[in-house]
């Protein structure tokens, strides 16, 4: 769900651009395979101004769905996976290399993101992934029904006092990020068999409290706003949009075990028939430093462009929890690329857990 301010800005921007630029032919429009909400015109205004129309968007609910659809023959020009899926998509032969000489903001990516092993480039140095946004999956709660002292630990998700009042994402990566943190692991790529069992057992305990497994921010926001859910493992966007609507919610980014940080971005897909010029035009538009302020203030996420983030109002950064990036990242599990076999084990086990086994 996009913030109300974002919707207003998007509508105004779309109308303005439509009035000053002729529409491009449909056959010349690129197809972007994306999460719902990221079609927001405020994320790529220079693309629309340059090419005279919006890209075509097709949507997926999670990355495993997107992966299977692409492997089954679905074609698009660009897609929006997150850090933990990049190596899998690359190894499956779904990606085209990026020509970094055509990426205006390639060298301005935040150093902490550049340092994530196996993310932006393969072992041979070939570039495949352009980071766009980053954020957290974090403990989020209703401040009118939950006492702060009851949610200082991620173990609260398994506390019987929250039976039928919990929501976590129907997303294997966020689920195992929560479970890994809860058992004291911050590098999930190194999970031992015993730690995997401990993490899975924790999720089984959480399952006893789950009211719903949310699939997008709209589902979760409605459940929290309506009082159906008191405690959630949620993205930054949830608290940002609910607070803007006057719902009493807060995030606790200082739990004993920490938070999870993810990075998402764009890749070029094999088989895309759209213009290469438009593909790179879109990639440059979404990483323009001018996008950073909008990303932080309206969505509650960080932007990949270091120059853009440095220019955001310090008060806004502080309000969204990004004032001290070093402190912010010191107690986090980065959802970095993991071995395919481990990820497949997580997928299979999570399906069992959700089914009550």
Domains and their CATH numbers in the chain: 4-133+263-323 (3.40.190.10), 135-260+335-354 (3.40.190.10)
Burial of 25 (0-12, 13-18, 19+ CB in 10 A): exposed
Distance CA 288, CA 292 (A): 8
pLDDT bin (cut points 50, 70, 90) of residue 300 is confident
255-265 average pLDDT score: 92
Average confidence score pLDDT of the chain: 89
Spell 237-252 as b/e; 16+ CB within 10 A means b: bbbbbbbeeebebbbb
Question: Is it the case that residue 81 has pLDDT exceeding 90?
Answer: yes
Which tokens hold the place of 142? 């209703």
The pLDDT value recorded for residue 328 is 60
Q: Tell me the pTM.
A: 0.78
Question: Is it the case that residue 181 has pLDDT exceeding 90?
Answer: yes
- φ, ψ of residue 197 to 5 degrees: the values are -65, -40
pLDDT bin (cut points 50, 70, 90) of residue 6 is very low
Cβ contact 104:284 at 8 Å:
yes
Residues above pLDDT 90, as percent of the chain: 70
294-309 average pLDDT score: 93
């Amino acid at each position: 769900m996009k913030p109300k301010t974002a919707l207003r800005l998007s509508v105004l921007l779309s109308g303005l651009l439509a009035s000053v630029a002729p529409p491009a032919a449909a056959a010349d429009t690129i197809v972007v395979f994306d999460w719902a909400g990221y079609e927001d015109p405020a994320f790529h205004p220079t693309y629309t101004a340059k090419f005279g129309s919006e890209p075509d968007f097709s949507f997926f609910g999670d990355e495993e769905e997107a992966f299977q659809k692409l492997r089954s023959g679905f074609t698009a020009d660009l897609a929006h996976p997150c850090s933990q899926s990049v190596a899998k998509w690359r190894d499956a032969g779904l990606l085209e290399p990026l020509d970094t000489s055509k990426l205006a903001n390639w060298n301005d990516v935040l150093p902490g993101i550049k340092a994530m092993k196996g993310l932006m480039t393969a072992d041979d140095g070939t570039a495949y992934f352009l980071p766009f946004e980053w954020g957290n999956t974090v403990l989020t709660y209703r401040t009118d029904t939950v006492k702060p002292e009851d949610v200082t630990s991620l173990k609260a998700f398994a506390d019987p006092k929250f039976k039928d009042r919990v929501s976590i994402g129907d997303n294997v990566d966020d689920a195992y990020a929560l479970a890994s943190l809860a058992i004291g692991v911050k590098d999930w790529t190194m999970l031992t068999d015993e730690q995997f069992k401990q993490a899975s057992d924790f999720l089984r305990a959480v399952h006893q409290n789950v009211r719903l497994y949310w699939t997008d921010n709209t589902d979760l926001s409605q459940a929290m706003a309506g009082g159906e859910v008191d405690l959630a493992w949620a993205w930054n966007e949830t608290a940002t949009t609910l607070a803007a609507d006057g719902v009493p919610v807060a995030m606790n980014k200082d739990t004993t075990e920490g938070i999870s940080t993810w990075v998402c971005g764009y890749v070029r897909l094999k088989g895309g028939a759209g213009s290469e010029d438009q593909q790179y035009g879109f990639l440059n538009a979404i990483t323009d430093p001018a996008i950073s302020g909008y990303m932080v203030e309206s969505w509650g996420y960080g932007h990949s462009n270091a120059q853009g983030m440095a220019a955001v109002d310090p008060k806004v950064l502080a309000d969204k929890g990004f004032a001290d990036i070093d402190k912010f990242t010191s107690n986090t599990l980065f959802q970095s690329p993991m071995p395919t076999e481990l990820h497949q084990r997580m997928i299979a086990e999570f399906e069992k857990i959700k089914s009550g086994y």
